[in-house]
Amino acid sequence: MRPYLCILGARFRVQLQYRAAALAGTLTQLFWGLIRVMIFDGFYRSSTAVHPISLAQVVSYVWLSQAAFGMLPDRVEPELRDMIRTGNVTSELLRPIDLYWSWFCRCLAMTLIPTLMRSGPLLAVAFAFLELQTPPGAASVLAAAAAFAGGMLVSSAITALLSIGLFWTVSGDGLTRLSVAAAYLFSGMVLPIPLLPEALQRAAALLPYRYVLDVPMRLYLGHIPASEAPMHLAAQLAWLLVLVAAGRGVLSRGLGRLVVQGG
Amino acid sequence: MRDAFTLYLRYAAISIRSQLEYRASCAMFAAASFVISAIDFCALWALFRRFGSLQGWKLQEVALLYGMVNVSFALAEGFARGFDSFETMVRNGGFDRLLVRPRSTALQVAGQELQLMRVGRLAQGALVLFWAAGELDVHWSVARLALVAAAVVSGACLFAGLFVLQATLAFWTTSTLEIVNTVTYGGVETAQYPLDVYRPWFRAFFTFVVPLACVNYLPAHALLGRGGVFGAPAWLNWIAPAMGPAFLAAALGVWQMGVRRYCSTGS
């Protein structure tokens, strides 16, 4: 366990150097959130029908998703990409630790740390001035906390899988881009999942992306009652196991066909 | 002037040829750019399906706004993205090389890279624009078609101006400021929806500070036969696109100021 914690710690110190970038990121997220809230507000004011999620909940959903934006699996780990491109990956192979978990930790650090740095100030502003709701009860708080932690792991497993896919350069790049597009739509980042048309909601249910953002956020809002949390957390765990197993499988096949030329 | 134009074409040809060396990945990036921008339209369509209308605007009318702004942005990204990597050029002293050449620096920076992958967003935006144009109950006279073209080109000028301003900041900070993305990407997101839905301060920002409304929202009003906007006379809608080139010209003026105070970082 210790070497993995060391990797996380070292990555944490690297990321802390980019405090100005974190501040700029927070401001950008605030601006985007404002645009999205005004658009949803416009749509809700144009219609008198009852919708599957209320405007107040949508507003909170937007602010949570802006705060958790860093959790979205929307890129590969840049250093892994460079290592695979340049052939430096060979030095990774020499380390006496499990390669998959050490890469998983890198991906986790890449998602976890910027999210922690950026979400705090944004959530504070959203609570104080922008009508971010508090969860309906202690059970929802606990369920959401567990689901956000799980979502972070699912997101890292997706990032790890995509990064490993870069062993197959061109097709790996293509898969990454497709996955990023799917992540935006099916995690609830573009639209809250309950507002999607039926067919797309069914597609979202079959994919892991909603367990990264949508499910944790709706548990927080109480839109998914805390009593249903165990079922969703179990599904999230199942996805995590599947993604980890897939990542390990792809990694061992990638290493099997890896050829690095001269030094 | 003609000389500058030929030079830009030469730059573009070199850039395209080098990207075509990697055909598969080039095609894939373009396809991905298509899919990613299609997701935005998918969201817009899903919202209209559920809510019916947006403050008196129909899906087809909003699609017109969406198509115009996305085509504009894709053009600007394609032709002026060289400004995006400008900070590296300042940091590693590469800009010195451009300064010793007897041609405009802005032209040389713009010509650094013409990104073929932007074809994806361009195609997606154009598809939506054509679909909207066909669906709308508008008589497409020569004047109206000319106005669409003017608005699209003017929008491209506006976004190019923003890229130039973002790059110009690098003269002072040696790193481009990410925060400018809020008005470029954020501007695209904003202009995809009618300006009526936003708060007055926000509307004023995108009309008077970054004149996005002039290249998108106002001409769309003229095309749809709606009257003047926010109490302004209707004829303003027809001449508003002039703001795009004016903005680009102003941005290039600031760029010249930056070039004059440029001090090389060394090797």
Question: Domain ranges in chain B?
Answer: 2-261
- Residue A122: pLDDT band with limits 50, 70, 90: very high
Q: What is the pLDDT of residue B89?
A: 81
Cβ contacts (< 8 Å) between B197 and chain A: which residues? Answer: 38-39, 41-42
**% of chain A surpassing 70 pLDDT:** 98
pLDDT at B147: 92
Beta bridge partners of B57: B54
Q: What is the pLDDT of residue B266?
A: 62
Mean model confidence pLDDT for chain A: 89
Mean pLDDT of B209-237: 84
| pLDDT tops 60 at residue B176 | no
A191-205, A229-243, B30-44, B95-109: least confident range: B95-109
Nearest to A195 among B25, B50, B196 (CB): B50
Task: Inform me whether the pLDDT recorded for A60 exceeds 90.
Answer: yes
- Selected for mutation to probe chain B from A46, A51, A55 (highest B CB count within 10 Å) is A46
CA distance A113 to A101: 17
In tens, the pLDDT along A147-186 reads 999 999 999 999 999 999 888 866 677 788 888 989 999 9
Is B24 in Cβ contact with A191 (below 8 Å)?
no
A39, closest residue in chain B (CA to CA): B197
Number of neighbours of residue A23 by Cβ within 10 angstroms: 14
Determine, for residues A190 and B182 on separate chains, whether the beta-carbon distance falls below 8 Å.
no
Q: What is the pLDDT of residue B65?
A: 94
Would the pLDDT of B228 be above 90?
Answer: no
> Is A45 within 8 Å of chain B by CB?
yes
Report the residue of chain A nearest B59, measured CA to CA.
Answer: A43
Please report the residues numbered 141 through 180 in chain A whose beta carbons come closer than 8 angstroms to any beta carbon of chain B.
Answer: 170, 173-174, 177-178, 180
B175 has pLDDT over 70: no
Residue range A36-54: mean pLDDT, rounded: 90
Report the residue from A21, A32, A196 with minimal CB separation from B178: A21
> How far apart (Å, rounded) are the C-alpha atoms in residues A13 and A137?
35
Residue B265 has pLDDT above 80, yes or no: no
Q: Tell me which of A242 and A109 has the higher pLDDT.
A: A242
Q: What average pLDDT does range A6-33 have in this prediction?
A: 83
Mean pLDDT across B181-208: 90
The residues with which B54 forms a beta bridge, in sequence order, are: B57
| Residues 49-68, chain A, touching B (beta carbon < 8 A) | 51
Which residues of chain A does B202 touch, with a Cβ-Cβ cutoff of 8 Å? Answer: 34-35, 38
